[in-house]
Amino acid sequence: QVQLVESGGGLVQAGDSLRLSCAASGRTSGMLTLAWFRQAPGKEREFAAAIRWSGGIAYADSVKGRFTISGDNAKNTVYLQMNSLKPEDTAVYYCASRRGNFMSRMLGDYDYWGQGTQVTVSS
């Protein structure tokens, strides 16, 4: 089992920045890929960014150039630096992990999920 705990969400204005953190614990040795997904009110959960411990990063087009995913393998923590936030970035942000090396954008490919952290961007 892997436990994922997100933090860092909040209420900000358009154009502001936030940094989310996701701390993993438990059986993390098989955790090869971590990702951030987000779910806006009334919408399906969608992929935002992923990082592979062996190297590699992927972004959704909607966040590319504004968000940066990074990780500290020694701390089993992944971060999402979000700059130039827009009202449409308002969502609950979830951290997820999978045992595979492929940086999937599909929810079903991830084995463990955190409980989410709310990000609200006002105009």
Query: For residue 32, what are the contacts with CB-CB under 8 A and spacing of at least 6?
Result: 52, 53, 54, 98, 99, 100, 101
Give me the pLDDT at residue 99, please.
Answer: 92
pLDDT (average), residues 46-71: 97
For residue 13 the two structure tokens come to 């204005």
DSSP 8-state assignment for residue 42: T
14-25 pLDDT per residue, tens: 999 999 999 999
The CA distance from 66 to 63, in Å, is 6
pLDDT (average), residues 92-109: 94
Query: For residue 82, what are the contacts with CB-CB under 8 A and spacing of at least 6?
Result: 17, 18, 19, 20, 63, 66, 67, 89, 119
